[in-house]
Structure 1
């Protein structure tokens, strides 16, 4: 374990600066997170949230966003064999599904393509990419159900897609900004946001 009184390695500090320097589109709300302990000697984390119905100035308090994501940077100066390097990026994204998407057998492949396309389009170099895409359903009861449950009605049900993935960046200069761009693009796609400068044809506010 690193000495808590010693500053993090320069390579880690540089990588964090490059990730934090990216300013995503204004519809996304970015906040720092406390990184999970014990995953690596050094770690850093951030969250990105989006809601198609929020005002889009980047400062909304999204208590229950339609789409949320976490990006975690892990660093082990000694490297780890399964990482194939000294850095590892871990992400988790959860997005609300539209009714027409329920039961789509292609959904896992589509969800995974959101990530791979985002990395490719951002020009982010990576290796040892792996993860899962899962469709989940939940039903709310009681005071947190937000209404519903009237005569002949059941409690409201929510269906989500969850993507969990990790990969090792391959940039030799330690600049990981392209990976932050890719992650923001992944969250935007999962949220159903149109390309920057385009107007969506249709999307229910959820």
Structure 2
């Protein structure tokens, strides 16, 4: 699917001896809100098996932005973790874990401030989307790769990888998903949603 449509149910992980009927209400509400969030059509969202043993309850999706030639402009994963007993490091019961990666143009990629700018793409998106959160943390890695010999592709590629997590203040997670998508779109070089770049021809 190209977007999370209303009522869509993503993959979730729960204790093997727990029937669906006993899923915590806040977890059910959080997953339902994420599944009902409409995503801009440039982003392909698909269910993803969540990691196990990180929390009693979890849910996950993958998100990719593909260029017209089929190449990846940006990709990511978003995981929801829920611990009904709370978690000291989270400062809450709902934790979102995000991974994002993108290849950047050379001019942007050589900027020594890129990691700081990349982190601001996430934090600014969370604020702009009204995604109430706390205890955010993560890492941003800037990598340069150079091809030699007969390997196909550009001689040099510069990529950005981000690993981040934050605690949601409530089960209203739609704004958090939209902020994550905004991060991917910014990294991919897409204009803001609803903005069209006019051709110079």
Give the TM-score range, shorter chain. Answer: 0.7 to 0.9
Residue 17 of structure 2 is matched in structure 1 by 4
Residue 11 of structure 2 is matched in structure 1 by none
Give the distance between the partners of 1:5 and 1:40, measured in 2 at CA: 14
Shift in alpha-carbon separation, 1:140–1:47, aligned structure 2, 3 A: farther
Q: Please say if 1:70 is aligned against 2:83.
A: no
Question: Structure 1 segments of 4 or more deviating over 6 A?
Answer: none
Residue 187 of structure 2 is matched in structure 1 by 190
1:122: Cα distance to partner?
0.5
Q: Is the 8 A contact 2:104 2:187 kept in 1?
A: no
Q: Is the 8 A contact 1:12 1:75 kept in 2?
A: yes
1:190: Cα distance to partner?
1.1
1:186: Cα distance to partner?
1.1
List runs of 5+ in structure 2 lacking aligned partners: 1-13
Per-residue CA deviations over 1:136-181 (Å, capped at 9, x if unaligned) read 23356799x4x26xxxxxx84422001111000012xx22111111
Q: How many residues align?
A: 184
Structure with larger RCO (C-alpha < 8 A, sep 6+): 1
List runs of 5+ in structure 1 lacking aligned partners: 56-61, 149-154
Residue 22 of structure 1 is matched in structure 2 by 37
Residue 178 of structure 2 is matched in structure 1 by 181
| Superposition RMSD in Å | 2.2
Residue 68 of structure 2 is matched in structure 1 by 54
Query: What TM-score, normalized by structure 2, do the two folds share?
Result: 0.83
